[in-house]
Amino acid sequence: MKIGDIVFYPMHGAGVIDGIENTEVAGIEKSYYILKLPIGNLKLMLPIDRIDQLGLRGVIDKSKLEEVETVLRSRPEHAHGSWNKRFQAILDRMKSGDVLDVAAVARNLSMQYRSRKISSGEKRLMDLSRQILISELVYACEKSPEEVTGWIDNIMCKDK
């Protein structure tokens, strides 16, 4: 990975490697990628020596968009169990960093939100999963966040 690469960071979304900084932490000098996320105007420092464990990966290419659309169009899965078990299962799925898992979480929670009440924690995860999905699709589709949001909403509203 190098400066200028567009990458995806689980639980945060897609962004650009904006630079490399060397910083001393507890007397040890470390190198960090500076990841700039456009949504939320967030800047993250990711230790270069731990990139493999952090799940940083390239953004999906256009060929994967059809699979994302299929997930968004498919029937929602209904989670069972107590609120905290559902919450943890959703969180684990989002942490995987797999765009199809994030799309499924966004679909499931959005559909549940439309048909019944969901907890405030699940609502936050719904919003976060949509934000993460949109951030990656913006780069994959080369479209604006508003265009991607409209595309996602249009897909999930059809035939539901």
**Residue 112 pLDDT:** 86
Same domain, 76 and 32: no
pLDDT at 127 over 90: yes
Same domain, 45 and 119: no
Q: What is the CATH number of the domain that holds 18?
A: 2.40.10.170
Phi/psi at 57 (5° precision): -145, 170
Same domain, 80 and 131: yes
Average pLDDT for 136-146: 92
Phi/psi at 63 (5° precision): -65, -20
Structural domain containing residue 87? 62-157
Q: Per the structure, how many domains does the chain have? A: 2
Tokens found for residue 43: 């800047």
C-alpha of 50 from chain center:
20
Per-residue pLDDT of 37-52, as tens digits, reads 877 778 999 999 999 8
| CA neighbours closer than 13 Å in the CB half-sphere of residue 45 | 9
Q: Is residue 1 in some structural domain? A: no
Tokens found for residue 75: 């029937």
Same domain, 28 and 74: no
pLDDT at 159 over 60: no
Reported as a pLDDT band with limits 50, 70 and 90, residue 160 is: very low
Q: Tell me what percent of the residues of the chain surpass a pLDDT of 90.
A: 62
Q: Is residue 23 in some structural domain? A: yes
